[in-house]
Structure 1
Amino acid sequence: MPTLLEFSDLNGWDDDDHDAALSVFVKTCDRMDGFEWPQLCGVAKNHTDGRAFFELFFKPVLIEDGAAPLFTGYFEPELNGSRTRSSRYRYPIYAKPDDFTVGAPYLSRREIANGALSGRGLEIVWVDDAVELFFLQVQGSGRVRLDDGTMTRVGYAGKNGHTYRSIGRELVRRGTYDAHQVSAEVIKNWVRRNPVEGQELLNHNPSFVFFRERQELHADLGPIGAMSRSITTMRSIAVDPVTTPLGAPVWIEKLGETPLNRLMVAQDTGSAIKGAQRADIFYGTGDAAGSEAGRIKDGGRMIVLLPIQLAYGLLEQVTG
């Protein structure tokens, strides 16, 4: 159910950096569909006052579907790697095999870990940590800092068609941890302390992701989001595109230990991001970003900024 608000209803609106939000909006607005969005995109590219732009052309709309609001965080992993295999760098990031068919079950994680793809020249790079590689697959993209001082990026190219199984839930099922104790860092540390059992735990999840190298991306830019453009640390969010248009500005009021009131842009999606009041905040690249993102599981509310015509049209559709 949509509710039209005023900008004065948005907590902290006066204190945000609206120009920063405008620059992020401009990065993807030319990829938006419809009649109103392309027109606004043209105006945005020649506008220098972010706050005036948003307040003049948009209306805040609170869209609710009955589900409790939830904000989480995500990040881009950064791994250590090498172009050649060694005793340190022995875990391969694989490119998509030529006999791979989208939607059809392929080799399982266990089979691949046991060498089913060895000798086929599919290794993009080799990394030094099996569990970091596992979480790279969970995130779907990342950077690899190579031993020659260069950097490369890898992005999602496909998965093997097996159902994802949570290894965190498996540790709880085994009685290793209680549910409230499990986090990405806890899992990583447990696998490193128990390398043999740890690999068996990773193999519990048969789903496996293949990658492709993204050399065209500058190392200083963010990973590619759902709109085929780089996303921006602490300004891009993943949303449910069924309820929130991709590319739309979204005002978030996140509660929790680190409250956040900020104008974001909906530039990404995620399989777990479902519902009108659900968003995943992009916290950046590397371990520090991952640590911060992993702690986020907060309530609050999110308000979509829609072009004025669309906002009133949405309200008319609902009220009849």
Structure 2
Amino acid sequence: MRIRVLGSAAGGGFPQWNCNCRLCDGVRRGRVRAQPRTQSSIAISGDETNWLLCNASPDLPAQLRAFPELQPARAIRDTAIAAIVLMDAQVDHVTGLAMLREHRRPLEIWCTQAVREDLEHGNPLFGLLRHYCGVYWRPIEADGTAFEIPSLPGLRFAALPVTSNAPPYSPHRDRPVPGDTIGLLVESAGKRLFYAPGLGEIGAPIDEAMRRADCVMVDGTCWTDDEMIALGLSKKRARDMGHRAIAGAGGMLERLSALPASTRRILIHINNTNPVLDEDGAEHAQLRAAGIELAHDGMDLRL
């Protein structure tokens, strides 16, 4: 299995276009050593010919240009994207669907019923796409049942419900239901990836999926729960937005450190305010010392 990180930042990217926090301003002016990042999405393949797109960020056109393997040029109009899985209906994970409207056939989109409803009503992207290429919706049951995507040979999947939060345009906002957000377990040739860019709580099923995986790529949005509040940028804690902070008791650092030593541990969906982005900072050093990696655009993994 090959995994390509197309984008690794949370919504808004890094630096965020309107943000002048220490990190965004510092990377623009060259005072902070950090890598710019686009909004999070990954691509997965079992044969390096047919690819699954996990989420479609607003930065998708630039991400496709940066990864030529997704354009095999076998015809005058072509793509190596065989299917799309949506982990949730958040705006930074679905807006890129509109950028794929020139596709020559309906987009094969796999998502839960809850996500489909949000994209039919609150953020009606599915309706918009019907005026262009169309949508071929395939349902995902977030119950751990194994399934295959016929257009992606060599890969098997299972989706687990994740406790996070639904987008602001969802009727489930602040009252999430199973299926609003999923974690995805991907298996190929006996190797497993667990992917969950939005992860608020880690119950027994998620913990077991992480322990079974050879590589875990999970939510690293904020370093502390009150990060956005302390900077005066929001009144919401990380957990209010459906994200588990990295630091603190029960935080992502603690939970990832408890995984088997052989597990590759990667944080993705990094917010522009997160001090781990500063490669000379104490937080970045703490991650390195724990053997935890920070996803970056263009990161390439083989399992």
Normalising by structure 1, report the TM-score: 0.21
Q: Which has the higher strand share?
A: 1
Max Rg structure? 1
Normalising by structure 2, report the TM-score: 0.22
